[in-house]
Amino acid sequence: MAEEAKKDIPEIVGFACSFCSFKASEMAGSLRMKYPEGIKIVQVPCSSRVDPAFVIKALFEGADGAFVAGCHPGDCHFIKGNYYTRRKIAALKEMFKAFSMDKKIKLFWVSASEARRFVEKVEHMYKEIKEGNNEGKKG
């Protein structure tokens, strides 16, 4: 939670697995789909590589939101990795819910061909956070 004033452009950091979600984001590019430049993606081999600490750190170093994206449950290239991701990130979300910050963390399942879904998910998150930030400003 940056000490500086809330920016107009939310910064969102996404962790995307190499085999599904990162591929989908690549495809979104190839299809020239547009999404806000505030969304930036870090490639990880598997969504299970994402240590919840990364997400916490991203948020406390100034990101307005962070998401973890992996293959749909059952489709993991590493066979079962995303089931572990699901447990950990669900728990992390629950933790942030206790601090009334659950909107800042999202978990997405996006398969390699779901470029459109990828864009829809991140755009929706972006909008939600932007609206939240604006409300915060007013209040």
Partner 1 sequence: MGERYLQEKHVLVVGGGIGGITAALELASCGVRVTMLEGGPSIGGRMIQLDKTFPTLDCSSCTLTPKMVEVALHPRIELMTLAKPMGIERNGKGFSVSIQKRPRFVDMKKCTACGACSGACVMKGRLSDEFNLRLSKRAAIYIPFPQAVPQKYLVDGDGCLFVSRGKCKKACVEACETRAINFDEKEEIIESYYDAIVLAPGFDLYDATEKREYGYGSLEGVMTGIEFERICSVTGPTGGEMVINGKTPKRFYFIQCVGSRDRQTGARFCSRVCCMYTAKHATIVRDRVKDAEIYVSYIDVRAYGKNYEEFYKSTQEGGTYYIRGIPGDITQGEKGLLVRVEDMLSGELREIEADLVVLATGVRPRKDTAELCNLLKVDRDEYGFIRTDSIAPSRTSTKGVFVCGMASGPKDVPDTVASGGEAASRCLEYIGEQ
Partner 2 sequence: MKIGIFLCHCGHNIKHTVDVARVKEYFQKFLNVAVAEDYPFLCSEPGQELIRSRTEAEGLDRVIIAACAPTLHQDMFKDLVKKGGLNPFLLRRVSVREHCSWVGDDIGKNTDKAIRLIKAGVYGSSHYIPLEEKQVDVTQSAMVIGGGVSGLSAALFLSNQGMHVYLVEKEAELGGHVRKLRNVWPSGKDGSELIDEMVETLRDRENVEIFTSTRMVSFGGSFGNYEATLETPAGESTVKAGGVIVAIGFAPFDPISKPELGYGKDKRIVTTLELENGLDELGLPANPRVAVLHCVGSRDEQIGKPYCSRVCCINALRAGQTVKEKFEHSYVESFYMDVRAHPKGGEEFYEDTQEKGVLFTRGNVGEIIPTPAGVLVRGEDTLFGELLEREFDLAVLSIGMSPPKDNQYIASLLKITLDKDKFFLEAHPKLRPYDTALKGIFIAGTCSGPKDMEESINHGRASAVKLFGLLNLGYAFVEPFVAMVDPKRCSGCRACEQACVAKAIKFDDGERIVRVEEAACMGCGLCNSTCPSSAIGLKGHADSSINDEVGAILEAI
Partner 3 sequence: MKGKRVDKKTIEVGLNQFLSDDRNLVLGFAKEPDGVSHRIFKNELGPLSLFNPYFGINGAFFLRRMFSKGQKLLLLLRPCEIRASVELVKLTQTERESIIAVSVDCLGALSSKDASDGLPDDYKEIADILASSEKVRPACKTCKERRGIVGNAGIRVGQDGTLWAVPYDEKGVEFCGLFAGDNEELPAAMLVGEATKTEPFLSDMTEFSKDFAKCIMCMNCRDMCPVCFCIDCVFNGNDYLPKGDALLNKIFRGGTTSLPSGKELFHLIRMFHVSQTCVGCGACEEACPQGIPLTKYFKGISERLQGMFSYTSGRNVEEQIPYLTFLEDELKDAAD
Answer yes or no whether residue 100 interacts with partner 1 by CB under 8 A. no
User: What's the CA gap between 24 and 72, in Å, rounded?
Assistant: 12
| Residue 19 contact, options partner 2, partner 1, partner 3, none, Cβ 5-8 Å cut-off depending on partner type | partner 1
User: What's the CA gap between 106 and 129, in Å, rounded?
Assistant: 11
| Residue 86 contact, options partner 1, partner 3, partner 2, none, Cβ 5-8 Å cut-off depending on partner type | partner 3
CB of 51 to partner 1, least distance (A): 24
Q: Is 55 left (phi over 0), alpha (psi -120 to 50) or beta?
A: alpha
Q: How many residues does the chain have?
A: 139
Q: Which of 1, 2, 57, 74 binds partner 1 (CB under 8 A)?
A: 74
Question: Judged by CB, which is closer to partner 2: 11, or 114?
Answer: 11
The percent of the chain in helix, strand and coil, each rounded to the nearest 5, is 50, 15, 35
Residues at the site binding partner 1, with contacts judged by CB under 8 A: 19-20, 23, 27, 30-31, 71-72, 74-75, 77, 111-117
